[in-house]
Amino acid sequence: MAADRPGEFELIKRFFAPLAKDPGSLGLTDDAAVLKPRPGFDLVLTKDVLAADVHFFAEDAPEAIAAKSLRVNLSDLAAKGATPRGYLLGIALPKGWTADWLQRFCKGLEADQAAYDIQLLGGDTIRSSNGLQVSITAIGEVPSGQAIRRCGAKAGDILFATGTIGDAAAGLKARLDRGFAATTSLAASDEAHILDRYLLPRPRTRLAPLIVKYANASMDISDGLLSDAGHMASASSSAIQINLETVPLSPALTYLKSAAPDVFFPCLNGGDDYEILVSVPEAVSQEFSAEASQLGCPVTAIGKVVEGEGTVNLLDNGVPVSADLQNGFRHF
C-alpha cells in the first residue's frame, strides 16, 4: 500500500465520515444506515453507475467527477417529484489513486451536498483493476402516492423541457475531437459552454414540487430527447409530437443547427442532457410554466401528446423531419 493511502477504517474516518451528517448514517460507524421517511412521504430510490472513459474522462478533475456522479442521480429524483434526502456511495478506486485525489473527490461531494441539501448515508470502497467506477444510490422523498412516473402522459397534454438540449453531446464531441471547434467554426465561448455542460449536469431539483403539483408524466432526459420522448410515449401508450423550432437551444446549438446540421441532429438526441421532460394537462400548462419561471427553473413547451402507440413525430415548422430514435445514448 502506498505510504499516503490510509487503511479502510482510517479512510472512512478521514474522508467520508465528515460528509455523513444525517443521524440515519450513524456516523458511518455501523454496518448499515437507518432511514425513516417523514410522515406522509414515500421514499424514492435511484441508482447510476459511472465508469471512467465511458461517462467521464479519467483525467477529469476529481471534484467534477464527484459532482457528475451525484447530479445524474439528483436529476432522476427531481423527475419523480422527489426532494433529495440522502445517498449511498460505492467507489472502486483504480491502482494509481492517491489520498490527495480522494480528498478532492470528497470536496466535490461536500460542495454539492451543500448546494442540493443532501447527505451521505453510507457506502463501500474497493480496489478496481479496471479504472475508476462510481456508483451512487440517491434517496428522495415525495408525498405519499404522488411520485410522477413516465407512464401517465395523456393525449392533449403539453410537453415541456427544462434547460437547453444537446449541449452535453456536443461537448463530448469536442472532448473526443480537439479540432471540433475549428472544423465547425464554433466560437470559443460556445465551445467552453458545451464542454462545461458535458462535465457538469444541472439537475433541476427546484422543479420537483411543481412536477408533483401539475404533471401527468415526467422523466429525465439522459438517453437523448427523442429517445426519452419515445420511452414516455411507449410507457403511456400514446404518441408524442415535438416541434423542432421550439426545442430550447443554447447559442452553441443554435449555431450548429444552421452551420453544421449533420453535427446538430446527432447532438439533439445524443443524451447526457439531464434535463427533465414533463407532460402537463393543457388546462394548467400556463400556470406550470409561470411558476417554474418564478422558481428560477424556466421550462419550454416543445410539443404535445397525441393519440397513438409509442411513436415520436418530429416537425420543423410543420414539416416532418426524419428522426432516428436509435442514435441516443446506449448503455450496452
Share of the chain above pLDDT 70, in %: 96
Structural domain for 80, as ranges: 8-143
Q: Specify if 152 maps to a domain.
A: no
Q: Specify if 121 maps to a domain.
A: yes
* Residue 328: band (very low, low, confident or very high) from pLDDT cuts 50, 70, 90: low
In this prediction, residue 100 carries a pLDDT of: 95
Question: Same domain for 253 and 307?
Answer: yes
Q: Specify if 332 maps to a domain.
A: no
Question: Same domain for 136 and 272?
Answer: no
Please tell me the distance from the alpha carbon of residue 119 to that of residue 115, in angstroms, as a whole number. Answer: 11
Q: In the predicted model, what is the mean pLDDT of residues 282-298?
A: 97
In this prediction, residue 326 carries a pLDDT of: 46
For residues 154-186, one letter each, b for 16 or more C-beta atoms within 10 angstroms of the residue's C-beta and e for the rest, the string is eeebbbbbbbbbbbbbbbbbbbeeeebbeebeb
Domain boundary among 143, 178, 211: 143
pLDDT digits (tens, 9 = 90+) for 63-85: 999 999 999 999 999 999 999 99
Higher pLDDT, 325 or 5: 5
Q: Specify if 172 maps to a domain.
A: yes
- Distances in whole angstroms, Cα of residue 269 to Cα of each of 42, 72, 258, 327: 33, 17, 17, 7
Question: Same domain for 206 and 137?
Answer: no
Please tell me the distance from the alpha carbon of residue 323 to that of residue 234, in angstroms, as a whole number. Answer: 16
In this prediction, residue 2 carries a pLDDT of: 56
pLDDT digits (tens, 9 = 90+) for 18-59: 999 999 999 999 999 999 999 999 999 999 999 999 999 999
In this prediction, residue 45 carries a pLDDT of: 98
Q: Specify if 310 maps to a domain.
A: yes
Q: Specify if 68 maps to a domain.
A: yes
Domain boundary among 88, 118, 143: 143
Q: Say if residue 329's pLDDT is above 60.
A: no
* Residue 1: band (very low, low, confident or very high) from pLDDT cuts 50, 70, 90: very low
Q: Say if residue 3's pLDDT is above 60.
A: no
Question: How many domains does the chain divide into?
Answer: 2
Q: Say if residue 300's pLDDT is above 50.
A: yes
pLDDT digits (tens, 9 = 90+) for 142-199: 999 999 999 999 999 999 999 999 999 999 999 999 999 999 999 999 999 999 999 9
Minimal CA–CA distance to 251: which of 167, 153, 126? Answer: 167
